[in-house]
Structure 1
Amino acid sequence: MSETSHHPRFDLASERVGTIYAKALYGAADAAGSLDVVVEELASLVHDVLDKHPLLANAVVSPRITHDERLQILDKAFAGRMSPTLLTFLKVLSGHNRLYCLREIQRAFHLLVGEKRGRVDVKVTSAQPLSEQSFASVSARLRETLGKDVEVLTSVNPALIGGLIVRIGDTVIDGSVAHQLENIRHQTLSAAAQQAKDALERFTTSET
């Protein structure tokens, strides 16, 4: 859902709100025995509905629409097409004027479910799209190394030249060719600086 001037917010604040509501949704879905369904539905709601239908996305967050009007929109759009657990949750969000945080909630919910299930989300960036074989090989290596199930999210950055950047939570493993070249450049500059320093010290010593 795109951010509008009607709902200015800081990303950090939205992330915190997302985490709070994600925990509430997890408890409700787990208690109802519909966790798997809610995981899929919430992801589809964000990526397949709101991303592709901006008019609907704007409608559910517009301050010009009352809570009662939003409830009618939600029922018309999703009643009978969505699990009661998620639909009720959306109505609660509407009542608290938090529907604009759906993206953050979905992201936090996805991470929370993965954590509960022992799954780790790993972001892999490569210079070119990974082939199916490379993707399978990277995924298998990560599962073996971490000892957990992993969900690999890929992205492409041609500036890397080659190799991979792997991000696991706050940990970044930079194995890209660009990073290696930068290290070589720094090492070369450091070596040249040290040689110049040594030469200067020899010169000043000989002069004394």
Structure 2
Amino acid sequence: MTDKDSLVSGVARRYATALFELASEAGAIEATEAGLNQFMALVDESADLRRLIESPVFSSDEQVAGVTAVLGAAGIGGIAANFIKLVARNRRLFLAPSMVRAYRALTAAARGETVAEVTSAEPLSSSHVEALKAALGEATGRKIILETSVDPALIGGLVVKLGSRMIDTSLRTKLNSLKLAMKEVG
């Protein structure tokens, strides 16, 4: 992890922790998580919304106006909506996905669950998801919540992040290792 990645994850973690504490005091942990999940689903579906979140070209006022309209249209309110607007006002909207992931990890930990991020070259079937949950659950002794994503550049295999551990069985990594080994031999 680079220094920039560490800084970004630190900021995201601090925001998520503050949000978790606020939601906990209000008795709205699940409602806040549901609102954040609904917002992130909208981000995943809309290239325009993703651009609004990620692009530094938009001013803070434009981002706040944009997310306020989206939140209103989607019926997302309460702490989740206020949080997203605050993040936009503070020019940290590009970190929203990391903040939501960190919040999910905090809520999962509070429920005695562990979040595992799994990246595969192709979408996993439901039977593969269940088998992976079972294997990770057996290894950790905890209930596993999988967050899956697809990266065709992996070619095949999986990259699993579980807490501070990462297991990379992707073909891309294996081919890169082979390429390095061939250079050393040659």
TM-score range, shorter chain: 0.5 to 0.7
C-alpha distance in structure 1 between counterparts of 2:85 and 2:171, whole Å: 49
Change (3 A) 1:126 1:103: closer
SS at match of 1:152: strand
2:20 pairs with 1:33: no
TM-score by length of 1: 0.61
Change (3 A) 1:104 1:127: closer
> Which residue of 1 is the match for residue 145 of structure 2?
151
Change (3 A) 1:80 1:98: same
Structural mapping, 1:16-165, within 5 Å: 16-49=10-43, 52=46, 54=48, 58=52, 62-63=58-59, 65=61, 70=64, 74=68, 77-78=71-72, 81-125=75-119, 129-154=123-148, 155=150, 164-165=158-159
Change (3 A) 1:133 1:53: closer
C-alpha distance in structure 1 between counterparts of 2:76 and 2:9, whole Å: 25
Identity %: 24
TM-score by length of 2: 0.67
Change (3 A) 1:158 1:128: farther
**RMSD (Å), alpha carbons:** 4.3
What runs of 5+ residues in structure 1 fail to find an aligned partner? 1-9, 187-208
**Number of equivalent positions:** 177
CA contact (8 A) 1:50 1:57 kept: no
Q: Max radius of gyration: which structure?
A: 1
CA contact (8 A) 1:125 1:157 kept: no
C-alpha distance in structure 1 between counterparts of 2:137 and 2:9, whole Å: 28
Counterpart code for 1:134: H
Counterpart code for 1:97: R
